[in-house]
Amino acid sequence: MTTVGHLRNELLPTFKKNTRISFSTEALSRALKLTDAADTELLTQAIAGLEKDNLIHKTKEDRYQWGAAPARLVGVFHGNEKGFGFVAIEDQDNDAFIAPPNTNCALDGDTVEISIIRPARPGDSRGPEGKVLAVTERKTTSLVGEFRPLSDADAAKTGFIGTVTSHEKKMKKYPVFVKDTGMLPEIGDMLLVQITDYPDSEHPEQMRGIISESLGEQERTWG
């Protein structure tokens, strides 16, 4: 007779032998050769018990993996123009280093939620290494930048009339694509834009926005 305890004992070796693999409930059911609906319900209970005991954790893809859920911390992301950054965490001595692939498109000054993927090593002056799980609050909601028109062909293809690029070091790698709002800016004009769409996995180094004000042409101050 199948019981929750029996299934729990069957599941533990599977997770322990495959600590880096996450399993769906369906995959576990197939591995245990469960076909009865009642057994599937017992499997759900066994998984819940292992999760409650912090022996396994649920991933954001609704799968299950060995070990307790990674600690999630909230802090402010301080980006570098080279792509990496650091997150200052309250009550932590050292900031968490965030490598370029792990920033999740966070921008300088954003409030982010992170998990620690490598704890600080004893005796090492370097802090822990983390990964941004989500941006919880954007610091930059508008910016001032220099307008550059797109070619007629690109404008017709994309629906945008040009880009507005900040002169600030940490923001100039993120051009803001803008549409025609009737202002008809000219090349070199400095514009105030409200950001509507931020960098994402599909467009990691661009944003979209709406022109709200023209500040006229200004001398370049690229740094």
The tens digit of pLDDT for each residue in 5-23 reads 999 999 999 999 999 899 9
CA proximity to 185, closest of 209, 169, 204: 209
210-213, Cβ contacts within 8 angstroms, sequence gap of 24 or more: 210/178, 210/179, 210/181, 211/164, 211/178, 211/181, 211/183, 211/185, 212/142
Whether the Cβ atoms of residue 164 and residue 146 lie closer than 8 Å to each other: yes
pLDDT the model gives residue 126: 81
When pLDDT is cut at 50, 70 and 90, the band that residue 220 belongs to is very low
Q: Does domain 142-217 have CATH number 2.40.50?
A: yes
**Between 90 and 194, whose confidence is greater?**
194
What is the architecture, at CATH level 2, of domain 72-137?
Beta Barrel (2.40)
Q: Does 142-217 match 72-137 at the fold level? A: yes
Q: State how far the Cα of 148 lies from the Cα of 189, in Å rounded to an integer.
A: 8
As a whole number of Å, the CA-based R_g of the chain is 25
**Between 92 and 151, whose confidence is greater?**
151
Q: Does domain 4-66 have CATH number 1.10.10.10?
A: yes
pLDDT the model gives residue 219: 52
Note if the pTM is more than 0.75: no
- State the Cα angle at 20 between 15 and 25, rounded to 5°: 50
The tens digit of pLDDT for each residue in 158-199 reads 999 999 999 999 999 999 999 998 888 999 999 999 999 999
The tens digit of pLDDT for each residue in 42-78 reads 999 999 999 999 999 998 789 999 998 777 789 999 9
Residue 222 has pLDDT above 60, yes or no: no
Average confidence (pLDDT) over 124-153: 93
Structural domain boundaries in the chain: 4-66, 72-137, 142-217
